[in-house]
Structure 1
């Protein structure tokens, strides 16, 4: 970033987009991979990350363009249903080839799929932020990537990690030993969709609450604070606090659910000797 700002060389911009979008997701996936067992190989994690990003973003884009032709008050919920459904489908396909299933492995692969989706999606948002009516804006690009990087750990990666733990838990208890569409999977899918929808709609809810708390009439659906002319500085500050507060609340709920699954799933770290034996058996 410093080199780009100092030299004005736009050829470095793609590097900023790639590094800024992938640094945090790759770091967290590496962190999760180091806590998995021999079934979750580096190749499987890499495949989950790439498939979750490429197929997830492309699949969600196609479905959203077909199913969301008209903007409605349910748009946030519909987008959440589509994106979480696509990520779950990608994770399901990856899980079909595994020899066995544990809650920990489901969380690790789910995190890889979710963070892959987040990385590719962030690259798209950063690219769009670069272009403004006044030309290229490196400041907008950097601000967008910094904000999404900070929020990435409690977004897509967290939600799909929870779904992965549920999916693998039901698979380990199924007579067939394979992932199946059980009631628990559907129920937790709905929970994750609600978290996702609440996350996406936090700005609109914050605007609505701001107007309500300051005694102004508020429409039910508001896309952003910038669409409301005449906003006072105190209202802008209140909106910022409410918007960040809703995101923090959503992230805390998601982290609580993840920790609950870790506790309920009883997923202690596997000793190195056992892990090495499993790895050798898997390679054979």
Structure 2
């Protein structure tokens, strides 16, 4: 991790000093993939060595790309910021990531169980996050006035810090439950717990994405500001007071912390279940056939 951060900082310094636009792809890719790749490698080394490199790489690259493409196509119909739109985004992105996981594992019928699902689900989620972050970084860099390097760096730092608490975490939860119900012949069962888990992580995802608007709405409610619904879509309060600014920071940051803690507790309970049934051939185990 620290070596990667040092490389990213060196690339950023050289790019800023030389103003060489040829270095932008290196800067974007390094910054976008560093944190997701490190967490995937950590999960592979600690919990997924027997899964095989093919499954890990397939989930990270193929799963990530298919997830981003599918989400982009489906989300193009959701244009106006609203709580309903954010719920739609959560449902769409979590669905396409699970479909991508199922697609990658169609040639690996022997991979099943909670532990395998947690590792490979996280891998798909981190792959999705890496490619999505690259897109956000590119959009931040390209402006009407030319290349905005500062916006690019700020975007990559923010996305890198938040990466462990987003897509990888949510899809690990959904993937773990999905593979725990996979049949020995490789067929996926969309049992009630699988559907319920999918809806649950989609709600967490939606709340995470909409926390900015929710914080504004809460501030407007508490400080008795008019146009409460309009403020959610607008995304900001015109000329906010100091009290409103402090409340907004409290609600937005506090809300994201609460969402993360809920997701981590959920993941921890699934990991304990996988360990408790960790013998090969039982639910938490995973049988691999090359």
With the shorter chain as reference, the TM-score category is 0.7 to 0.9
Change over 3 Å in CA distance of 1:175–1:225 after alignment to 2:
closer
- Aligned-residue Cα RMSD (Å) equals 2.3
- Which of 186, 194, 204 does residue 203 from structure 2 map onto? 194
CA contact 2:48–2:119 (8 Å) conserved in 1: no
* Pairwise CA distance, 1:243: 1.1
Structure 1 residue 253 corresponds to structure 2 residue 265: no
In the other structure, the counterpart of 1:275 is none
Gaps of 5+ in 2: 1-11, 281-286
1:51 Cα offset (Å):
1.5
Q: 1:267 to 1:103 in 2, by over 3 A?
A: farther
Q: Deviations over 1:87-124 (max 9, x none)?
A: 01011122332314221111111011000000000111
Mapped partners of 2:177, 2:73: distance in 1? 27
- 2:107 paired with 1:83: no
**Can you give the 5+ residue segments of structure 1 that lack an aligned partner in the other structure?**
272-277
Q: Does the 8 Å contact 1:24/1:149 carry over to 2?
A: yes
Structure 1 residue 270, shift from structure 2 partner? 8.7
Query: CA offsets per residue over residues 19-44 of structure 1, 9 Å max, x none?
Result: 11000000000011112345411111
CA separation in 1, counterparts of 2:139 and 2:129? 15
Q: Which of 238, 251, 271 is residue 262 of structure 1 equivalent to?
A: 271
- 1:135-284 superposed matches below 5 A: 135-171=146-182, 174=183, 178-220=187-229, 222-223=232-233, 225-226=235-236, 228-266=237-275, 282=289
Distance 1:113 1:267 in 2: 25
1:50 is matched with: 61
Residue aligned with 2:23, SS? helix
Q: 1:118 to 1:100 in 2, by over 3 A?
A: closer
The TM-score with structure 1 as length reference comes to 0.87
Q: CA deviation at 1:168?
A: 1.4
Check conservation: 2:32, 2:134, Cα contact below 8 A. yes
Alpha-carbon contact 1:203-1:223 (below 8 Å) kept = no
Work out which of the residue numbers 62, 66, 71 in structure 2 matches 1:60: 71
Superposition TM-score, scaled by structure 2 size = 0.85
Partners of 1:62 and 1:199 in 2: CA distance: 21
Alpha-carbon distance in 1 for matches of 2:223, 2:80: 31
